[in-house]
Every structure is written in C-alpha cells, then in structure tokens.
Chains A and B, each alone.
Chain A
C-alpha cells in the first residue's frame, strides 16, 4: 500500500460525522466611497505611495518625479516609455538584480487591506520582488471592498503565480521594530489610471 493510500484510509477510518459547511452567515463590510478609502488605505495600511493619474499627466511623469535618481527601470508595459530594460528579454531572472524601479500592472485593489492582486504577467516574477522600488499600475475602476469580493471575481483563478501585495517588504523581527525593506522592494508606488 502506498503512503497516500495509508493516509487516506486512516483519514476515512478516523473521520467523525460530516459537518455541513453552511452559509457564510454575515454580510461582509463595504465602504461608501471605495476608491477614496482604497487610496487612503494604500498609504496608511500598506505604507505605499498612491497617485491618481491626472488629465494631461503620464505614468512616466509620475515615475520620474517619484524616482528621479532611478537609472535602471524595468517594465514590459507599453505605457512605460521611460523603461530602460524590457525584463522579458532577459533569459536569467538573476539579471534583474540591480533594478532600481520595476513597473507591473495590478488587476484589482482591495479596500479593506490596501492590497493589490498582481498575477504574473512578466517572464520572471523576480521583477516584483528584487526591484528596489515597485510601481503598480491599476485601473481605478477595479476596486473591491473586501477579500470575499476579491476571490469571487470572475476569472480570478486564471493565473500561474499571483500575489496580493500590500506595500513595500517589511519585517519587525528585531524587537518588534518595524523596518521597511526586508528582502523585497523598499518602496511601492501605486498609480491609479
């Protein structure tokens, strides 16, 4: 008998009477002005910067303004013309080391925690984690109130790798003191299109 069979048999033999799942049993929290609250939470909860793209302003303008010293900007998005590297042209993700700014597209934002769902749409997911700063472009119409709405979005399951990212990488492992920039980006900027 394989280990799988042994385990499954033991589980079946030891399983108590089945418990029904039942309905959710509550109405999840929603927000009066989701877009405004989302912008607030991206800053206050996720510790990121957040800009609403204004008329006549380009994504490049904001990236250049926020990261004036960035030399290596990596993105495969057509609207990011200030990109100096197309990350999809690199064979080895290690070549992304030394990226100052990585720019990716988020699919939707979640108001209750300020996180943004980013399914991998670049060749190497390393871009989302190794860049010193991460810029996330997000359509301002794609905002959900809470995680229940997030996971219930049609087509959610259509990804290979995806992450809800809430701001820059952080840790509090030394005496509970919050430090930004543990392993991933030290800075995150959200641009709402």
Chain B
C-alpha cells in the first residue's frame, strides 16, 4: 500500500468530513470554470501563457541577469542561493545584520520548501505568518494543506476553539466574520511592531527590475508598510520577460486560483522607499536540474495557482496531509518526485489519470501525463511496488498464449462460483473493499463474436465498402 493510500485511509474514515472537503474545493473549481467561460479568449490566453513560459525557461539565464541588472539599478539588493540552506543563511544574515527579532511574513511556498521559519526560530527570530489561513495553521502547529487555501481542511468550530485559546475570543463563537476581525486586531499589532517584512514573489519582471506580490487580504502590503527592511524571496522560475507577459499572467492567476477576476491587491515593488532597504533572494534549489529534464521541465512553468489541486478528484477526497511532500495534489506529486523520488514515490499512485489537472492548468502543464510517466520510471528507479510487479508477471504469463488465456478465463469463472466471499473480498483485494465485483457474463466476448457478431460484422464491412465506392 502506498504512503498516500495509508494516510488517506485516516482522512476518509470520517465520511461527512470527506464530502465537506470535496465540496469546498469543487466550489472553487466551479468558480474557476465561470471565470474561464466569461473570457472569450481563455484558451488562447492559456496558449500564450504556456508559450511565453516556454520561451522564458529556455532563456532563464538571460532574463535573470536582466532582472538583476535592473533591480540593482532600482536600488534593490539582489542575492543568489544555490539551495535551501544557502537561502536560509542569506535571509538569516540580513536579519542578523539589522538586529531583527520579529519578522512578519506573507505566504511563500518557497519559505516552506526551504524550512525557513523553523530555521529562524532556532536562531531566536520569530517569524509570524500574516495570511489568515497560514496564521491559523501556524497557531495549530501544522503545515498548510493547500498552497493557496492553507486551512481549507479546518472547520470554523476548530478555528473558533483555536482563537479562544490563543487570541481570547468569545467561547463558542465560530462566526467567520467575527474570527477574521479578531485575527485582524491580533495581526495589526504584529504589523506595527515587526522589525522586518518578508514576502514571496509571484512575478519578477526582468525588463523593469520590479517584482509583483498578489494577495486578497493586503497582508503583504501591510507587512511591508512599516519596517525599514523588506526581504523578498523567489524561485528562479518566477522571472518573466516584461509587462506584456505580466498582463497574460495577471489575467490568469486569480481566475485559475480562486475564481476571482484578480486578487484584491496586485502590488508592484520597484524601488525601496525613503529610508527602507529592499533585498531579493533568487533561489535555485534543484530548479536548474529540472530544466535539464526533458520529460519534466514543464514544471518550471508553474504559477502556483493551485487549480490542479482544486480539480483533482483524489486530492479533494483525501486532503493535503495524505501526500508525503509538502505540496499536495498533482503539482506536489511531480515536484516531490523531482526533489527526491526515493522519499516521495508513495504519492504517484494518488492519481486516477483523469487528466483534469492538465486541462485546467493556466500554463498548460501536462501534470497528469507526467504522473503517468513517473509510474513508468518507478521500476528503473528501483521503487516499483513488488506486489504490483508480481501481478504484472502473472498477467504476462496468463495473457502470453491463447491456450493459457482460455485456461485462465475458465479458471476465473469457476473460481468466482466456488470461492467463498471471504476469500474473494480478502484484504489483498483493495478494489473490492468498497465495491462489489461485477458478475461474469454468461458468455465471453469471444463466444459472442464467433456465434453472432462475426457474420454481421463482415456484412457491414461489405455494405460500407459498396457505399464508399458509390460515393466516389
């Protein structure tokens, strides 16, 4: 059993909660569909987005150097980090130089990827998450379960209890408006007293040396409005050529992510303001290696919108924590395998190959196809499931010759009749755990073909041939 199946078993044990989770995400997917249908050029926009990203990732060194040159000219300090450790050290050194004790953060998947918050906390720096969902998860001491909707799996009653304990809200009050406004007061204080602000980067515009941060809450904007120091961190694939490209992604991001026309705040940072210092850390951490992988380099196009998760039937019904990589869903399955196949191969089975993820992706990443290809690669990587390998060997023999094939069919029909239910539905039959096996038909297809269909079929072929010749 894969690591995902095992973890998902816990999640789906609570059936009403599974349905609730599924519905919550499906609602977001439907909002995305409404957006897509309201833009006549939607598919052409996706096409342009995919092509522009392909152009960018095949010119990454060029655009990154252009970005660095322009950002530096704008007065932004640019740093480069090979891996997660160098990223964490770079951030820590900047904070240490400025004597920072309290950092206020907006959501960044890169920070999660690098394990930044625990790294800073070990060194005596408090990193407060300011996105409401992220803050809820931080107070619960749990990771986010979705990259855009971090607390999508948490019920309002649980937030109510958490805030009563942590922020002193009224007992038994779980009204989202009341709780959100309590968090507003709590975080307002953090914003005003932070020594430094950190944001992620949605887009880095090479031609201008500016970077763009999108939020609905305005938490990134509030965070960067008071302290003298702003550190932005970006995966190197976040660079885009210019504003023409930004127009494309601006139109697609929020529509794909949450089904909004745009985020409430799409903020552009180009120069530090009076008395402020601005730093940006450009991080590789395996991305340059992904570029060299012909099957999987498309992953570098990703905007981190999360639409592949919202649409995924497996994610919706198994939750973010069923995946062993910190990013769940189709995106996480692929990124996990690229990060460390040995550690994360337990996720590749979490896919029904319905390809819905590939169909909603705003930059047309072939997410489902890539998961399929990872499954093909498992044996080469020495990670194939031995039970499944055994089954394939047996099938190979069973289907290897007509004699063997016929024998197996007969044996199967007999087996179905005489086997006790307890044996057919034993633990080894995962498929039969929540489903009934279909009954064998009275005759095999081969028998039906020989007895009835073959004569009619040849007749039809004859008619078809005549028909076509008449037409000619």
Contact = CB atoms under 8 A, between A and B. Distances in A.
A125 interface: yes
A35 interface: no
Contacts of A22: 51, 55
B169 interface: no
B251 A174 contact: no
Contacts of B133: 171, 173
Residue of A2, A7, A161, A173 with highest tally of chain B CB at under 10 A: A173
A184 interface: yes
Contacts of A168: 264
Interface stretch (A60-68, A75-83, A175-183): A175-183
A181 B65 CA distance: 39
A143 to B, nearest CB: 15
A174 B41 contact: no
Interface in B395-430: none
Interface residues of A, number: 76
A16 B226 contact: no
A55 interface: no
A157 interface: yes
Interface in A147-191: 147-148, 150-152, 156-157, 159-177, 179, 181-185
Contacts of A14: 288-289, 291-292
Interface string A13-31: 1111111111011111100
A161 B222 contact: no
Interface string B142-163: 0000000111101110010000
B132 A163 contact: no
B250 interface: yes
B97 interface: no
B265 interface: yes
B173 interface: no
B179 to A, nearest CB: 6
B40 interface: yes
Given A173-B149, A183-B218, A16 B176 contact: no
Which of A14, A151, A163, A177 has the most CB atoms of chain B within a 10 A radius of its CB? A163
A112 interface: yes
Contacts of A130: 222, 225
B434 interface: no
A182 B270 contact: no
A21 B241 contact: yes
B61 A173 contact: no
A45 interface: yes
Given A120-B273, A174-B132, A94 B292 contact: no
Given A150-B247, A172-B258, A182-B184, A160 B264 contact: no
Contacts of B54: 19
Contacts of B246: 147, 151
A173 B132 contact: yes
A3 B283 CA distance: 10
A47 to B, nearest CB: 9
A171 B20 CA distance: 20
Task: Indicate the size class of the contact surface on chain B.
Answer: 35 or more
B24 interface: yes
A13 B370 CA distance: 23
B262 interface: yes
B132 to A, nearest CB: 4
A166 B263 contact: yes
Contact of A3 (B82, B154, B183): B82
Given A15-B58, A21-B241, A172-B258, A184 B82 contact: no
A177 B176 contact: yes
A25 B217 contact: no
A16 B294 contact: yes
Contacts of B183: 182
B55 A20 contact: yes
B52 A2 contact: no
A115 B117 CA distance: 33
Nearest to B274: A123
Contacts of B130: 183
A167 B68 CA distance: 33
Contacts of A181: 180-181, 184
Interface in B237-265: 241, 243-244, 246-248, 250-251, 258, 261-265
A25 B55 CA distance: 15
A26 B273 contact: no
A14 B237 CA distance: 14
A126 interface: yes
A171 B291 contact: no
A10 interface: yes
A17 B179 contact: no
Contact of B217 (A114, A115, A171): A171
A6 interface: yes
A146 B39 CA distance: 11
A3 B61 contact: no
Contacts of A115: 261-262, 266
Given A14-B291, A25-B48, A174-B176, 7 more contacts: A18-B59, A24-B48, A161-B267, A161-B268, A169-B216, A173-B151, A177-B176
Interface of B: 24, 27-28, 39-41, 44-45, 47-48, 51-52, 54-55, 58-61, 64-65, 68, 80-82, 86, 130-133, 136, 149-152, 154-156, 159, 176-177, 179-181, 183-184, 187-188, 191-192, 208, 210, 216-219, 221-222, 225-226, 236, 241, 243-244, 246-248, 250-251, 258, 261-274, 282, 284, 288-289, 291-292, 294, 297
15 contacts: A8-B64, A16-B291, A18-B55, A22-B51, A26-B44, A29-B41, A114-B261, A146-B247, A156-B243, A159-B270, A160-B273, A162-B270, A167-B264, A175-B156, A176-B28
The 9 A-B pairs at the shortest CB distance, nearest first, are namely A14-B292, A184-B218, A26-B44, A182-B217, A173-B133, A113-B261, A10-B288, A126-B225, A151-B243
